[in-house]
Amino acid sequence: MAQPTPSSKVDLGALDLKRMLHPNTNLAALHRGAPLVLVRGKGVHVWDDGGKQYIEAMAGLWCTTLGYGDDELARTAYDQIKKLSFSHLFTGKSHEPGILLADKLVRMAPFAASRVFFGNSGSDANDTQIKLVWYYNNALGRTKKKKIIARLRGYHGTTLAAAGLTGLPSFHKLFDVPLPPFLHTEAPYYYRGAHPGESEDDYATRLAASLEQLIQREGPDTVAAFIAEPLMGVGGVLLPPRGYFPKIQAVLDKYDVLLIDDEVITGFGRTGEIWGAQTFDMRPHTLTAAKALSSAYLPISAVIVPEFLYEPMIAASGEVGLFGHGFTYSGHPVAAAVALRTLGIYEERKLYEHVRQIAPQFQAALSSLAAHPLVGDTRGIGLVGACELVRSKATKAAFDAKLAVGAKAMQLCQEHGLIVRAIGDVIALCPPFIVTSAEVDEIFAKLRRGLDDTLAWAQRERLVEQP
Ligand SMILES: Cc1ncc(COP(=O)(O)O)c(C=O)c1O
């Protein structure tokens, strides 16, 4: 493949360190190193400003499902910009790409949905979810039913409300979140959370009982909704134990608590089904989608809701004078047109089938890493997975977080031309849907080399037992 010439004479890395306030980054660590500046992408590959090629095994941030530089999506954006570059949805205005995308999503939803509210990110969509639930309960006169339960280790974004749903300490500390109405119950983390010898089913029963206790403690008439990702991505690629969602759902039904399904990572085929809800037997009332919705070619998110939730809001907004929620770019026509085409491409290029076909190879290669001396656990489904690095396989003892072993592994993989993501010491993989069988082999060959280098480094530093 032709090497691109570096596109700029400016030292982008140095300028970045002077000018950028990076999102979701350890700023202290960044200033001891350098950013990875990408300048070009094609298919599953990206190139940095020095001309080095990488295979992008994280699809950016779990999102570039169609890979990079797709001509059809580029043309779609160009055509829509020429036709109607902006139009909005406030005060009864509308436009064709938005209407057609809403209709498509309602027809795809894994429950009896009727309407779609558009946003620009997963975070703002989850804020919308919360506001819809509150608006709905206020409209019904249930003014106390406001608390939202999320899960420790869950990730739902970083806006002021969504950060409160997120159950990871580094998204709370120094930010004064969560705000009071957000509560957290236990994460489904079988590798570390289950008692010795506890079956997945028993573990799931225990988690559901723990949720029920929380609802009872808080008072069921104060709990409005429960939000969950079908599988936790940013929390460390945690799959629910068998039987988890039906047991959780029984508790939610008992106390009239809505289930918000956060499909920002899992939506549109990642787990092998169109929705993670189908893979894990979830029966949500509402759903959040983003990322793969447009293959991340343009920012767009969607909240898909049922009519029962919308209907009481009509009269309520009439009394207030406005349904006072929305963004300038809600349903931006260019993003909506690209999203609509993305969903069309998934079907036309048979990508849902492709993910299902290639997933066994991907998962088998991932499982084979379990034999590696540094790997304590491997887990995954469809085209997403992770391996968890440990100091001792026998005891599952973790490395001291300050050693940043995962970050080291990520860096060493990068040296081999592989982009993965370190979530603490969990190495996550989430390649574009278009990945081929040969590219899956390439990903795991490079990952193995990266892990071997990490082991050699850990041995030199005496972080693990000497061979
Ligand atoms: C499950 C989930 N929900 C919400 C978000 C937040 O999305 P965004 O970064 O677009 O705000 C993410 C981002 O990774 C996510 O994984």
Tell me: the pLDDT tens digits for 172-192? 999 999 988 999 999 999 999
234 lines ligand 1 (CB under 6 A): yes
pLDDT tier, 7 (very low <50, low <70, confident <90, very high otherwise): low
The pick from 63, 118, 123 for probing ligand 1's pocket by mutation, whose C-beta has the most ligand atoms within 8 angstroms, reads 123
Write down the H helix ranges in 36-113: 59-62, 71-84, 96-108
Q: If you measure from the C-alpha of residue 459 to the centroid of ligand 1, how many angstroms do you get, rounded to a whole number?
A: 36
The pick from 25, 148, 238, 265 for probing ligand 1's pocket by mutation, whose C-beta has the most ligand atoms within 8 angstroms, reads 265
Q: If you measure from the C-alpha of residue 397 to the centroid of ligand 1, how many angstroms do you get, rounded to a whole number?
A: 29
pLDDT for the residue numbered 4: 45
Q: What is the Cα–Cα distance from 198 to 361, expressed in whole angstroms?
A: 29
The pick from 128, 239, 264, 286 for probing ligand 1's pocket by mutation, whose C-beta has the most ligand atoms within 8 angstroms, reads 264
Q: What is the Cα–Cα distance from 41 to 68, expressed in whole angstroms?
A: 5
Q: What is the Cα–Cα distance from 116 to 305, expressed in whole angstroms?
A: 6
| pLDDT tens-digit readout, 273-301 | 999 999 999 999 999 999 999 999 999 99
Return the sign of the alpha-carbon dihedral for residues 213, 217, 218, 221.
Answer: positive
Q: What is the DSSP string of 275-337?
A: SHHHHTT---SEEEE-GGGTTTSS--EEEEE-HHHHHHHHHHHHHHTS-----TTTT-HHHHH
Q: If you measure from the C-alpha of residue 122 to the centroid of ligand 1, how many angstroms do you get, rounded to a whole number?
A: 4
121 lines ligand 1 (CB under 6 A): yes
Q: For all residues of the chain together, what is the average pLDDT?
A: 96
Q: If you measure from the C-alpha of residue 155 to the centroid of ligand 1, how many angstroms do you get, rounded to a whole number?
A: 7
Q: If you measure from the C-alpha of residue 289 to the centroid of ligand 1, how many angstroms do you get, rounded to a whole number?
A: 9
Q: If you measure from the C-alpha of residue 3 to the centroid of ligand 1, how many angstroms do you get, rounded to a whole number?
A: 33
262 lines ligand 1 (CB under 6 A): yes
**Is 169 strand, coil or helix?**
helix
| pLDDT tens-digit readout, 315-373 | 999 999 999 999 999 999 999 999 999 999 999 999 999 999 999 999 999 999 999 99
The pick from 291, 300, 384 for probing ligand 1's pocket by mutation, whose C-beta has the most ligand atoms within 8 angstroms, reads 291
pLDDT tier, 3 (very low <50, low <70, confident <90, very high otherwise): very low
Q: Are 305 and 271 within 8 A, CB to CB?
A: no
pLDDT tier, 157 (very low <50, low <70, confident <90, very high otherwise): very high
Nearest-atom index, ligand 1, CA of 262? 1
Nearest-atom index, ligand 1, CA of 126? 4
Q: If you measure from the C-alpha of residue 120 to the centroid of ligand 1, how many angstroms do you get, rounded to a whole number?
A: 11
The pick from 62, 130, 155 for probing ligand 1's pocket by mutation, whose C-beta has the most ligand atoms within 8 angstroms, reads 155
Residue 394 has a CB neighbour count (10 Å cut-off) of: 7
For atom 3 of ligand 1, the residue with the nearest CA is: 156
Strands (DSSP E) found in 19-67: 38-42, 45-48, 53-56
pLDDT for the residue numbered 233: 98
For atom 13 of ligand 1, the residue with the nearest CA is: 157
Q: If you measure from the C-alpha of residue 21 to the centroid of ligand 1, how many angstroms do you get, rounded to a whole number?
A: 19
Q: What is the Cα–Cα distance from 97 to 77, expressed in whole angstroms?
A: 11
Report residue 376 as tokens: 């304590």
pLDDT for the residue numbered 6: 52
- Does the pLDDT at position 249 exceed 80? yes
Nearest-atom index, ligand 1, CA of 123? 11
Return the sign of the alpha-carbon dihedral for residues 433, 163, 98, 281.
Answer: positive
59 lines ligand 1 (CB under 6 A): no
pTM above 0.85, yes or no: yes
Q: If you measure from the C-alpha of residue 28 to the centroid of ligand 1, how many angstroms do you get, rounded to a whole number?
A: 24
Report residue 411 as tokens: 């860096």
- Does the pLDDT at position 1 exceed 90? no
pLDDT for the residue numbered 180: 84
Beta bridge partners of 416: none
266 lines ligand 1 (CB under 6 A): no
Residue in 178, 175, 147 with CA at minimum distance from that of residue 165? 178
Mean pLDDT across the stretch 188-206?
A: 98
171 lines ligand 1 (CB under 6 A): no
157 lines ligand 1 (CB under 6 A): yes
Strands 421-423 vs 426-429: parallel, antiparallel or unpaired: antiparallel
Residue 314 has a CB neighbour count (10 Å cut-off) of: 10
Q: If you measure from the C-alpha of residue 263 to the centroid of ligand 1, how many angstroms do you get, rounded to a whole number?
A: 9
Return left, alpha or beta for 316; rule: phi > 0 is left, psi -120 to 50 is alpha, else beta. alpha
For atom 7 of ligand 1, the residue with the nearest CA is: 122
Q: If you measure from the C-alpha of residue 431 to the centroid of ligand 1, how many angstroms do you get, rounded to a whole number?
A: 17
Residue in 346, 335, 345, 341 with CA at minimum distance from that of residue 118? 335
For atom 1 of ligand 1, the residue with the nearest CA is: 264
